[in-house]
Structure 1
Amino acid sequence: MILVLRALGVGDLATAVPALRGLRAAYPTKELTLAAPAWLAPLADLVGGVDRLVDADGLGHLPWSGPGPTLAVNLHGRGPQSHRMLAGIWPDRLLAFANPKAGHHDGPVWDDDEHEVDRWCRLLAWYGIPADRTDLALRRPEPGALPSGVSIVHPGTKAPERRWPPARFAAVARELAARGHRVVVTGSPGERGLAEEVARAAGLPPGAVLAGRTGLGELAALVAHARLLLSGDTGVAHLATAYGTPSVLLFGPVSPALWGPPPDRPWQQALWVGPRPPGDGRTVHPALAELGVPTVLATVDRVEQAVPRPVSRLVPAARDRAGRPAPAGPAVR
């Protein structure tokens, strides 16, 4: 059995997809278990090749009993806490970045200035396991009852410093609607008030607010079939990357060189005016505050002009145990 630790969020799991696929291809007959928050199960299903998910949200507790796995892989962090968590279940072997404090002297040295996707591919390469950093696509779900071809405005982020001002989101949404876009506003249940504020200021109807009305799987389907995504540096941005959905992403305290979409996709643009001095962490970051509405709208124009026809993002990407394309269906039990 292989146990992979990635007990984080949507963007974190999405950026680990190439590494997960590399492990699946390297060990096609072994059970691959992902330690991640249970609410990420719909996304793990879209990755494909994951046989089981154990609920681990952060590094507080790893629910594990019985013998240790053959292989434990730390795709969570540099250690020492995550290393010790995995060492505590007694795996036969641990693949992780070197961390003498955790008693782990094997593995490559951590690099702060590395894209998150490349980081985990490099970790596996150190141990002789190839991973393709371009293998980012998720299985494309059917839209079901959700609208297709919408332009998604997603104003929320977990950290206030990564949140572009609501009035600016509303100004862009208003202009997109005037251009003929069908605009919807998404977010978590806790962000519904923010979404309603943006929709009201943009003159959108109440039905345009989908915040709190879509689960993770439904949000993925909405993004997969969308015309455009406008969001900050947050999980939904990585869904757009996974589906090749045209996107304009607004970065503040963190450079897109570390978390942004691939640079060879002109239909997916990350805007950043950094580096800038650190903010206070409670209000919008100075780099993000400098991004104006005209700049964002001009980028929307460039993105829409660059959309490839036909769109290669429509190809399903889930894999079976041998790394072959897998049919749609539950992969997490």
Structure 2
Amino acid sequence: MSASLVVAPQWIGDAVMTEPLLRRLQARGERLTVGALPWVAPVYRAMPQVAEVIEFPFAHGGLQWTARRAMAERLRGRFDVAYVCPNSLKSALIPWWAGTPKRVGYRGEARLMVLNQRLPNPPAGERPPMVAFYSALSGEAGVAEDRPQLQLDSAVRAAALQAQGLQAQGYYVFAPGAEFGPAKRWPARHFASLAAQLSLPVVLLGSAKESALCGEIAAQAQAQGARGVIDLSGRTSLDQALALIAAARAMVSNDSGLMHVAAAFATPQVAVFGSSSPLHTPPLSAKAQVIWLKNDAAYQPPLDCAPCFQRECPLGHTRCLVDIRPERVLALL
């Protein structure tokens, strides 16, 4: 059995979409260790095929040479092969400095020396499905057909529910944030209106940076008579958030990392897309439903501007999201 290191992406959604790659590697006899930043490490602890998760103590931005050198020395000689998921130079430095014989990744950002098995990047302007992008690192065919899968220990799930006084299937989860920017966020007033029309409590999940947004939704929903709104933004670990999503009746979200988490747990969900495209990063689940006005023939005038992939709407109206009414999402739920 070969010992393999997987250098994980830094975003939750991307981490979820590497799961089919890891499943393929484990199935062919590789023992998997994942090196991940602390905020995505819980995703890999929900993948049974991962034997070990090492948390990389790095922050966003900067090469952080000293810390990476120290980590490389710690890992020296441990692995036969490394799969580098991110496209940056710094992500490929650790397996190179650690002396890992085979180092697999995509070309780009001066990685000619640090990688010795390099895949060609997709042509400029083309955005392939991300699961296929990561799974191609395995060197195997048929990667476009894979769907991510996450699993949680039942005791972990039960503890998270007990801590919030919730019952499995007895609440909805809303994930109203999107780290990329406001052009991916369904309006707060729409989330609030939807919450007020549901027959079960709503749990709001998000990071501390999304607390103001979640607080606004909670206040508006309660003013409209919602049956119960539990704002947990910035108050849960990612491990707890995973458990709450896995046990929910259903989830409503934007195109975000937590959207991919729900899909990997096969939690019923409605995903609202605006500036981004479900052709590139869809929720890969038979229980997922997507609303995207760009491909809605009944919506007029057509959204010729979508997908723009911008952080903020270049035209200032965010019509792609504003015009998705809460009643439409309610009907799908």
- TM-score category (smaller protein): 0.7 to 0.9
TM-score normalised to structure 1 length: 0.77
Deviation at 1:288, TM superposition (A): 5.0
Aligned-partner Cα distance in 2 for 1:287–1:6: 36
1:89 has 2:108 as partner: no
Question: Given the alignment, which residue of 121, 128, 132 partners 1:110?
Answer: 121
How many percent of aligned residue pairs carry the same amino acid? Answer: 22
Letter in structure 2 aligned against 1:198: I
TM-score normalised to structure 2 length: 0.77
SS in 2 for 1:118: helix
1:265 has 2:294 as partner: no
Letter in structure 1 aligned against 2:180: A
1:143 matched residue in structure 2: 158
1:134 matched residue in structure 2: 146
The verdict on how the C-alpha distance between 1:100 and 1:200 changes in structure 2, with shifts beyond 3 A counting, is closer
SS in 2 for 1:143: helix
Deviation at 1:164, TM superposition (A): 2.3
The one of the two structures with greater contact order (alpha-carbon pairs below 8 A, sep at least 6) is: 1
The verdict on how the C-alpha distance between 1:85 and 1:285 changes in structure 2, with shifts beyond 3 A counting, is farther
The alignment yields a C-alpha RMSD, in angstroms, of: 3.0
Structure with greater proportional strand content: 2
1:297 matched residue in structure 2: 327
1:1-333 map, 5 Å: 1-28=3-30, 30=31, 32-56=32-56, 57=58, 60-61=63-64, 62=68, 63-66=71-74, 67-68=76-77, 69-77=79-87, 79-99=88-108, 101-103=110-112, 104=115, 106-111=117-122, 112-125=126-139, 128=140, 133-140=145-152, 141=154, 142-144=157-159, 145=162, 146=164, 147=166, 148-149=168-169, 150-160=171-181, 161-176=183-198, 180-203=199-222, 204=226, 208-262=230-284, 265=286, 267-273=288-294, 276=305, 278=308, 281-282=311-312, 288-292=318-322, 295-302=325-332, 304=333
Deviation at 1:13, TM superposition (A): 0.9
Point out where structure 1 has 5 or more consecutive residues left out of the alignment: 305-333
CA contact (8 A) 1:276 1:287 kept: no
CA contact (8 A) 1:165 1:284 kept: no
Letter in structure 1 aligned against 2:270: V
CA contact (8 A) 1:6 1:75 kept: yes
SS in 1 for 2:39: helix
SS in 2 for 1:221: helix
Deviation at 1:251, TM superposition (A): 2.0
Aligned-partner Cα distance in 2 for 1:280–1:138: 30
Aligned-partner Cα distance in 1 for 2:29–2:133: 20
Question: How many residues get paired?
Answer: 294
CA contact (8 A) 1:190 1:212 kept: yes
Letter in structure 1 aligned against 2:119: P
Deviations 1:60-85 (A, max 9, x none): 343221524210101122x4443445
Deviation at 1:88, TM superposition (A): 3.1
Letter in structure 2 aligned against 1:14: V
Aligned-partner Cα distance in 1 for 2:48–2:314: 36
